[in-house]
Chain A
Amino acid sequence: DVKVTQSSRYLVKRTGEKVFLECVQDMDHENMFWYRQDPGLGLRLIYFSYDVKMKEKGDIPEGYSVSREKKERFSLILESASTNQTSMYLCASSPYNTETQYFGPGTRLLVL
């Protein structure tokens, strides 16, 4: 079975802090994705990556950056956390040229 893990289930940070959310997948998938999930808005794509050291902006990249130094790991970085970044963050991965995505359990981030 595909396994996507996220470093934290719950996280509380203060405004202005730099926040790192880590995602690791164990199935050698080329594609990895970061979404945020907010009530009534569904999932919105923040960034995605098709390969190591590659990154592409999604629909809402402002205030975020990403890093993919190894194929299995995709990190989401909040350079200076703000209260409007309080949300559920979901990571997903998929094989090359395949649309089926496999999701991690999510990280619920609260920014105070």
Chain B
Amino acid sequence: AQSVTQLGSHVSVSEGALVLLRCNYSSSVPPYLFWYVQYPNQGLQLLLKYTSAATLVKGINGFEAEFKKSETSFHLTKPSAHMSDAAEYFCAVSGDNQGGKLIFGQGTELSVKP
């Protein structure tokens, strides 16, 4: 069975600092991996996705993630945090004949301090 673990339910960084949100997955087949962002009182918006092309995936708003098969990880990074990045971030995995279903992690709330 597939699963996703996000390490840290809350992450706090200073404005301009590196953002690193961690995601580890388990999957018996090559996965599709996703990062979604949820701003307060809104639905989820796709940040980026990995679909077995390049291992370094660039997304919107300056975010990127690197697929590391040996570590079963798909961590999300951004070189310099902005106040507007404060939101909740979800990692998700698909594949394994799930027919379009996604398995989501528990979410990480990112706070950005001035």
A105 contacts B99, CB within 8 Å?
no
- Residues of B within 8 Å of A9, CB to CB, are 41
Task: Classify the interface of chain B: helix, strand, loop or mixed.
Answer: loop
| Minimum CB–CB distance for A10 against chain B, Å | 9
Partner among B34, B43, B95 whose Cβ is within 8 Å of the Cβ of A90: B43
Q: Are B107 and A103 in contact, CB atoms less than 8 angstroms apart?
A: no
Is B106's CB under 8 angstroms from A41's CB? Answer: yes
Is the CB–CB distance between A43 and B43 below 8 Å? no
Give residues 13-64 of A contacting B (CB, 8 Å): 31, 33, 35, 40-45, 48, 50, 58
In the assembled complex, the Cα of A101 lies from the Cα of B46 at a distance in Å of 8
A: interface residue count bin: 20 to 34
Closest to A10 in B: B41
A84 at the interface (CB under 8 A from B): no
Interface presence of B49 (CB below 8 A): yes
Which B residues touch A97, using CB under 8 A?
Answer: 99-100
A48–B100 Cα distance when bound, in Å, is: 10
Bound together, the chains give a CA A40 to CA B9 distance in angstroms of 7
Give A44 to B101 CA distance when docked, in angstroms.
11
- Do A99 and B100 touch across chains, with their CB atoms under 8 A apart? yes
Decide yes or no: A31 and B43 within 8 Å by CB, A42-B90, A42-B107 being known contacts: no
- List A residues at the B interface (Cβ < 8 Å): 4, 9, 31, 33, 35, 40-45, 48, 50, 58, 90, 92, 94, 96-106, 108
